[in-house]
Structure formats: C-alpha cells, structure tokens
Structure 1
Amino acid sequence: MTIHRSMSQRKDVPKCRPFFEMIDLKEDKLPQARPPKQFAPDPVAKTWTVPELCEAYGWPKGLEGGGVIGILAMGGGYQPSDLEAYFEGIGQPMPEVKNIVINGVGNRPNQPVSEDFDPDVEIALDIEVAASAYYVATGQPAKIRVYWTDMDLRSMAPAIQKAAADGCSVLSISWGAPENAWEWLFWKFGQNVAVQLEATLIRAAALGMTVFAAAGDREANAGEAQKTVNLPAACPHAVACAGTSKTRDKEVVWNNDPGKINGIGTGGGYSSLFFPQAWARGAPVGIGRMVPDVAGNADKNTGYRIFVHGSERVTGGTSAVAPLYAGLFAAFAKKSNGFVNPILWANRDCFQDITEGNNDGYVATIGPDPCSGLGVLIAHELANLFTTQDAPAPYKA
C-alpha cells in the first residue's frame, strides 16, 4: 500500500504562488498540465533518428510484440501526412493510430499556444518515438491509442483509467505539473487529486498497464522557487523518466544551463507528497519518493529527429524518454507486468549507470541518484528479463 502525506497538515500554501504567477494563472483559474517547452537545438548538434538511438541502446530484435501503446494528449494534434512522411523517411510502415476523446476537442492540430509552446510538437514526438521504437524491437507496425483531454490536471486520471480498461499494455505521459499545483487543487476545492491520481495508477497496474511519465525539463526546481518534482512522475506507480545528453561516445545528466536555477535540464529530486518506497533499495534517502526511476537521451542538442508541420524538426526533453521506454515495453507482450518499478529496482544490471553531471540540485553518483535514477536502459537485458520463461511475475502493490 502506498502511503501519502496528508495535505491537510501542510501550512505552506503561499509557496504555491510563484508557479501560478509564472504561467499567468489567476487565483480563480485552474492549474493546467503542460508539456515541456520546445527549444531549438545548437546548430552543431549531433542528433539521432529513433532507429539509430535504439541501436545505441542495444535494442532487441524479433520480439513477440502485441502490446497496445497508449499516449496521453492534453492539447494539440497531429496531421496524418506528417506521420506518413516520418515513417517513410525512416523506412518503417505506418502505425495504426486511433483517437479516443475523454474530454476537450480531441485531435486539433495547428493551434500553437506560443512560439515556444506548440503542443503539436509534443504529440508528433510521442507517436513517432513510441511507434518507431516498437517497430525496431518487433518488425511490426505499432498500435497506438491517443487519449485526448483538456489541460485540467483532473483530466489525467479518467484518461489513465480508460487506457487501462481498453487493454493498453503501456501508457506514455509527457505532461505534468509541479507538486504544489496539485496541492492547490486540494486547498481550493477540497479534492486530493494527487492521491486520486496515484489510486488510478494502482488500478491501472492491476489491469496490466505500465505508465511511463516524464520527469520534467526545468531541473531540480521544476520552474519553482524551491526544489520540487513533477506529478505524475513522482507517483510511486508511474515509472519516472529523466533525461541525459547522449553523444556517440559519452552520456551524462542533461543540463543545458549549469549553475542556473530553473534552467533547461532534467527534473529530479524528492516528492513531498509520497513517502520513500521500500522497493527503491539503494536510493539516496530524502524526504519522499526519489525521482526518477530511469533515464534516457533528452537533450535537444543530442535530440530526436521527428516530422511535424510539414518538415523535419529536432526536439527532445524527458517527454521523449517516456515514449521510448513505452515502445520497448509494449514489444515484450500483449500484457505487461503493470507495476514494474520494484522489478526494475531489483535488476540494476539492466541499466547503465550515469555518474557524471547534475541538475542544479542533485549530482550524479555511482549507483541510483535523483537526477538519473537507475541509469539508462540496456534494452536487450530488459528484454531478456521480461520475455524469458523465468520472467518475474507481476508485482502486487
């Protein structure tokens, strides 16, 4: 059973204010989930196609597959012609993509919020990375289900619940908000939305769905005045995905602005809402659950080549890591193990430790740490772990 801190005992409501001022929310307006902002890569960046990155991470081949990939979308949209151009460009067949509208307007491309906040880039990234990663592992076109909601944080749980009920084996979530935004909903409306979200994740895991969530792109402060982490990544029943900067010969913690608080780089740290988890053996002790669990390439300067708005574009962020892992785990079988965090933490030899870099709050060390977690996947080792006859049984919460 996951233990939650009681928000009713917290007395630091004023600390919520910097977040809402930063994103222009009035007190009578609801906090909204956001994907990371998109930033142009350095012109001399060495970037990756997804098949190239999969090869570098030791991707398995010829897996059984059959898992359905769910993607949570809280705004934006995609053009089928962009997807067709992307998959033709990397020599893969088109995935099967279906749209399920939970609330909001559904697939509605070409509605950018601002120059550096275009949700269409996020949607293209999620679909293209997850589907192409799956194909590399299986040789089969992926089945993608996009679950559309509005940006209200309370919309996440119903979408997660629907994806699990539909039989998705994995769900990729690239959206989120700092923990104090979720606390604000409790103080404003008496709804403990963070606890409700974790309860939904527990039920989804019981149905065999594994959820991968981006840890965020604003370093250890998550864009706030103090260290914090993002939900849903900090929920114990989500696999929290952090970011690295991966070149052809080196991989370090992703941090584009060393020494700059609230710069661009991977999120990570300790939850103030969820206690440390017993299965996270070896994690440095902090006030709460350590985030992240895993890491992968996220730096825009070593980013992912995608196709959106009629042309190729390079992007990244921890929101690229979540669909990358989702594509791999969907390749294992029709049903995943659901709650995999205890299995991952018990099999640290399936990860390459990241020992260099920091997120301006925490420093990478030998072993797990709050900026790279267990490290980056050794994909064929994870495949062996989850697909052999001796594969671990689903972990019971």
Structure 2
Amino acid sequence: MVQTVDPEHRDEKMTLHFSLALPSEAAADLEARVARGETVSPDALSEYGAPKADADALTAWLKSKGFEIERVSADNTSIYANAPVTQIEKNLQVQMVRVNRGGFTYTAARNAPSLPVSVGEAVQAISGLQPFQQAHKHSKRRAPRDSNRSALGVADHTMPGPSPSISNSAPYLPSEILKAYNADGLGLDGSGQTIAILIDTFPTDADMQAFWKQNNLPVTLSQIEKINVSGGQLPPPEGEETLDTQWTSGIAPGATIRIYATGSLAFTALDRALDRIIDDIPTHPGMRQLSISLGLGETFLNGPGGEVAIEHQKFLKLAAAGVNVFISTGDAGSNPDETGHSATGPTQAEYQSTDPCVIAVGGTTLKLASDGTVTSEVGWSSGGGGKSIYFPRPSWQTGSGVTGLRRLVPDVSATADPDEGGFVLLHGHVQQIGGTSWSAPVWAGFCALINSARVSANKPPLPFLNPLIYPLATSCFRDIESGSNGVFHATHGYDLVTGLGVPNMYELVKALS
C-alpha cells in the first residue's frame, strides 16, 4: 500500500549506505586467492579498498547537499550518511512515498536514485532507500516435550538435571549433539578462538549463566563480548540471539563469543556490522568464525548490483582474511516467501547463504537413541536449499551430485528440526528451538574446535573452508540420503537439501589439523 509522504514525515532523517566497488583487478585477485584457499594478512588486506579520492569526492558532495556523514569504512568502500527525507528526495532525484508492509509504515523511494557522474561513477549501490526490505531470522520454536527439562525456577535460575530416562531426548543438550557428530572426546574446547555472532540484540546475562550451569559448562560472562554497532537502543531479546550465543559457547566452551548487535535487521545496519567486523580483524586474530542466521529470498532483492553486490564484497574480504562465515539457509524449504514462511513463495534459495564466500548451513531431523547414538537423520522438511540466480558455481564446488552452472546450497548441514530441537534458556524458561539458526552456530562452534586443533598442531588457522571440505565429502561427512524440503530431495552424494551431509568431527579434525 503506497501513500504520499505527509509534511510531518518529510523532516524525518534516513540513513543511507553508499557502497563503492573495489577496483575490478583487486576484486578478481581476491576472488582467485579465496578460491585457491589462500589467506591474506590484515596488513595486505588493508590494501584492497576503494580509491580514497573517490570516497573523498562523494563525501564532500554529500556534505555540500546537507547530508551528515556518520561513518566511512577503513577501506573506503562504505559511506554511511543521513539526511531528511526532503533532502534525499531532492538530491538523489527520487520520489519518496509511504509504504505499508506487515503492519508497519515506512518512508521509501519509489524509483531508482541518481547521482552526478562526477561522484556517482564509483558507486555500485545505494541501500537504505527502501527500509521495508529487511532480512528475517531463521529459527523455529516448539514447547519442550519432557517436564524435567522445562521446569525452571525463575528466581534463582536453577533447574533439576534431566533424569537418565530422558537423556538424549529433545530438547537436546550440547553434549548430546557433540556426541552425535563424533565431536566428544576430542580434547578440544575452542580455546584461543573467538566466534563472532551478527544479530540485532544481546541475550541476557542471567539466561547465559543458567544455561552454562545446567550444562556443566566452564563458561563465564568474561568470555562474552558485546558490541553495540550503532550505539543506539537495542530491541529486547526474543530467542535468536540467545540460541546463537548459548550454542556457540556450548559447542566451544573455551572460545570467546563476540556479539555484534545491529539494533535492526535493515540491510544498512547489517552492512555496518560487517564493516565493523572487518575493521576488528587486526586486533582480534582469533576471530576466525562468524555465525549469521538471517536471510531473504534472492528474488526479493534488488538484483545482483544492489545489496547482493554490497555484501558479497564484504564476505569476500572476510573469506580472504580467514574468517569462515556460517550462514543458515532458511526455514521455509525450497519456496520461501518474503517473511521466511514456506510453500507460498517461488522456488529459490536465500541470500546471504548463496554467497560463494560463505559456508551455507542446511538442516536435518536428528533422532537419538537412549545411549546417544544416532537412530536416524534425514533432511529437514523446512530446510532451505537450491540454486542461486546471482552467482555461478564456484570452482571448488565439485563432486558427486554437484551439477549445473549455478552456486548450490547448502554446503553442509546439522540438526535443525524444532520437533527435535535444542535446549535454550530464554527469560528464565526452557525453550526448545530449532531451525537452521541452530545448525549455523553449531557449525561455527565446530570451526572453532578445528581451529584450536590446528593451533595445537602448530598450523595456521583455517583459510576459507569450502575448498577444503568438498574433497573430504566421502571421508569426513555422513551422507544424508533421504528427506525433502519441497522441490528438492536428499539423495546419495551432494544434494540441495543437506549439501555434503553432516560432519564426522573426529575425521574432519584429523583431516584438517
């Protein structure tokens, strides 16, 4: 629903992101180095940026037109600036309207923006003009089935441990998932590693402490670092941030967890957080894994030259720096709509998981026997997966079942079905939460274990993981050969439901360290 902008909304300020492209030769060089499995040092990576003269010229022009410059990224590829709606409409030659979507009303541009050639030639995209376009979270919640894991004393955040009769029953605990993927008994806890999480807000300290206590984990609040990227007010915790933090720390209890809170799921806020993470790499050398549980169907984005181009450039730099980014493929099966619900949208995969510089994490339905062994594991019916419409198939994506010319997702999988979900403490109460928002942080924790093993073996941290793991499909992964997410079906070898399958962590750690 589109309406005209009333006078009272014309003075409202909007923050826009002007994205400058890396020079084509520099971008091609980085792409090739990542595909070869090379890692670029922070000093060398700082040389890959947009020309400072271009950023300076655009910044000066924006200031002359009444824009307030909020931030310029260190590599000169991102300029964040705000201005009143009237100024934006006049200087970018856009028609601003009021748009209602999902019960909220936004001021948004109805047509594409324009810049003078003198400052606009270097700009690959402008984001923030359509703030109704946002990523959505990938998590699903169920009521816990057993009472021993759902009764929590809110006052003192204590609860009885699960009795033997319900061990290895949903909601699953980190120790049970570690055993299911042969990651227990490795003598690894992620010490020396930092796992970054990109999400809109922070979990509560009390929930974290209660989770660690219930799981007998030697984790303390000193291992949790909270970065409010914008410095503004954050929304209250609702589950995603808590799931991500509790399960990364549960899988890798020796690691530091560094949460980058954006305040919203607008793409300008996500871009700003990615810039901050890139800027932090030199001072946080152990930050070699990043978990993101967000996405939006590719058909709902503004083409390959818009937000996709902006974020691909950032994911490319992260991969080059040796930061492995684990992104959930979605919880709407093969046909996600704009809100992340299933069966009503077109057949498509979700960006950010389709980016060739990230590890796309799909989902399974995992069932355990009373002794913790795997009874069955099939592709989860709501796990995202498919073929990218924006990216060609990378050179490293090869092997049995890999076909066609497009980037395929997922790359890997892990447990995600909320009916067999994970144990989460939220607002003092036990929750059973699943979704690929669960499998992505589990994989980020696994990556921290692998990196800590490499450090112990006097090896450098992992480079971009995907070129390394595709050749290990038959030796280090358990193939998931049944299950469907709608259009696609799990089968022998690679498939568009579970990718390479689920890890045998003992073999994977041995192969990579």
Q: 1:339 to 1:158 in 2, by over 3 A?
A: farther
Matched residue type, 1:49: L
Structure 1 pair 336–156 and aligned structure 2 pair: CA distance change class (3 A):
farther
In structure 1, the residue matched to 2:265 is 151
Match of 2:137 among 9, 32, 35: 35
Structure 1 residues 62 and 337: CA distance shift in structure 2, 3 A: same
CA–CA separation in structure 2 for the residues paired with 1:226 and 1:273: 15
Who is 1:278 aligned against? Answer: 395
2:418 counterpart letter in structure 1: K
User: Cα gap change, 1:77/1:47 in structure 2, threshold over 3 Å: closer, same or farther?
Assistant: same
Match of 1:300 in 2: 418
Contact 1:58 / 1:380 at 8 angstroms: preserved in 2? yes
Deviating more after overlay: 88-97 vs 354-363 = 88-97
Match of 1:233 among 323, 345, 353: 353
Deviation at 1:276, TM superposition (A): 1.3
Q: Does 1:53 align with 2:177?
A: yes
Q: Superposition pairs for residues 226-375 of structure 1, below 5 Å? A: 226-248=346-368, 249-255=375-381, 265-282=382-399, 283-286=401-404, 288-331=406-449, 332-333=451-452, 336-348=461-473, 349-375=475-501
Deviation at 1:92, TM superposition (A): 0.7
* SS of match in other structure, 1:321: helix
User: Residues 168-187 of structure 1 correspond to what in structure 2 (within 5 A)?
Assistant: 168-183=287-302
Q: Partners of 1:100 and 1:160 in 2: how far apart?
A: 12
CA-CA distance at 1:25 after TM superposition: 7.3
Q: Deviations over 1:310-367 (max 9, x none)?
A: 1111101001111111112112237632311111111112110000011001011100
Question: Quick one: which amino acid aligns to residue 347 of structure 2?
Answer: K
Query: Following the alignment from structure 1 to structure 2, what is the Cα–Cα distance between the partners of residues 84 and 304?
Result: 17
Whichever residue aligns with residue 179 of structure 1, its letter is E
2:507 aligned partner: 381
Whether the 8 Å CA contact 1:153–1:182 is kept in 2: the answer is: no
The code of the aligned residue for 2:260 comes to Y
Is contact 1:79-1:109 (8 Å) kept? no
Report the structure number with the largest CA radius of gyration: 2
Mapped contact 1:266–1:359 kept (Cα < 8 A):
yes
SS in 2 for 1:384: helix
Q: Post-superposition shift, 1:37?
A: 5.0
Count the aligned residue pairs.
342
User: Given residue 240 of structure 1, which amino acid in structure 2 is its aligned partner?
Assistant: A
Is the 1:271–1:288 contact (alpha carbons within 8 Å) kept by the matching residues of 2? yes
* Range with bigger deviation, 159-168 or 20-29: 20-29
* 1:206 aligned partner: 320
1:215 aligned to 321, 326, 329, which one? 329
Tell me the secondary structure at the aligned position of residue 88 of structure 1. Answer: helix
Change in Cα spacing, 1:108 to 1:381, as seen in structure 2 (3 Å) is same
TM-aligned CA distance change 1:107 to 1:94, over 3 Å:
farther
User: Is the alpha carbon distance of 1:23 and 1:132 closer, same or farther for their aligned partners in structure 2, counting shifts above 3 Å?
Assistant: farther
Letter in 2 for 1:356: S
3-state SS in 1 of match to 2:397: coil
Whole-angstrom CA distance in 2 between matches of 1:318 and 1:302:
13
Alpha carbons 1:54, 1:133 under 8 Å: kept: yes
Counterpart-to-counterpart distance in 2, 1:23 and 1:253: 34
How far does residue 280 in structure 1 lie from its aligned partner after superposition?
0.9
Contact 2:333 2:385 in 1 (8 A): yes
Deviations 1:350-389 (A, max 9, x none): 11000001100101110000010000011111211222xx
CA distance in 1, matches of 2:509, 2:360: 19
Q: Report if the CA contact (8 A) 2:366-2:378 is conserved.
A: yes
Q: How far, CA to CA, are the matches of 2:484 and 2:496 in structure 1?
A: 9
For residue 169 of structure 1, what is the amino acid of its counterpart?
R
What residue is the counterpart of 1:83 in the other structure?
208
Q: Deviations over 1:83-128 (max 9, x none)?
A: 0000000001234111112226365425xxxxxxxxx210110001
How far off its partner does 1:164 sit?
Answer: 3.7
The 3 A distance-change label for structure 1 pair 293 and 373 is same
8 Å contact kept, 2:485–2:497: yes
The structure-2 alpha-carbon separation of the partners of 1:226 and 1:181, relative to structure 1 and needing over 3 Å to count, comes to closer
Partners in 1 of 2:433 and 2:307 — Cα distance?
31
1:134 aligns with 2:252: yes
Which protein has greater RCO, CA pairs closer than 8 Å, 6+ apart?
A: 1
Residue 9 of structure 1 corresponds to none
Residues 175, 214 of structure 1: 8 Å contact kept: yes
Identity %: 27
Structure 1: 5+ residue runs without aligned partners? 4-19, 111-119, 256-264, 388-397
Query: 1:352·1:377 contact (CA, 8 Å) conserved in 2?
Result: yes
2:227 is the counterpart of 1:103 = no
SS in structure 2 opposite 1:245?
strand
More off after superposition, 223-232 vs 51-60: 223-232
Report if the CA contact (8 A) 1:77-1:106 is conserved: no
Q: Which residue of 2 aligns with 1:113?
A: none
Distance in 2, matches of 1:106 and 1:385, equals 45
Q: Which deviations, in whole Å up to 9, do the C-alpha atoms of 1:135-182 show, x marking residues without a partner?
A: 2xxxx3x20110111211233333223224323110000111111232
- 1:169 match: secondary structure: strand
Normalised TM-score (structure 2): 0.63
- Paired amino acid for 2:291: S
Counterpart amino acid of 1:182?
L
Task: Give RMSD over aligned pairs.
Answer: 2.4
SS of 1:280's equivalent? coil
- The 8 Å contact of residues 210 and 336 in structure 1, kept in 2 or not, is answered as no
The verdict on how the C-alpha distance between 1:380 and 1:268 changes in structure 2, with shifts beyond 3 A counting, is same
How far apart in 2 are the matches of 1:27 and 1:225? 25
Structure 2: give runs of 5+ residues left out of the alignment. 1-27, 33-99, 109-129, 147-168, 338-343, 369-374
How far apart, in 2, do the equivalents of 1:328 and 1:83 lie? Answer: 20
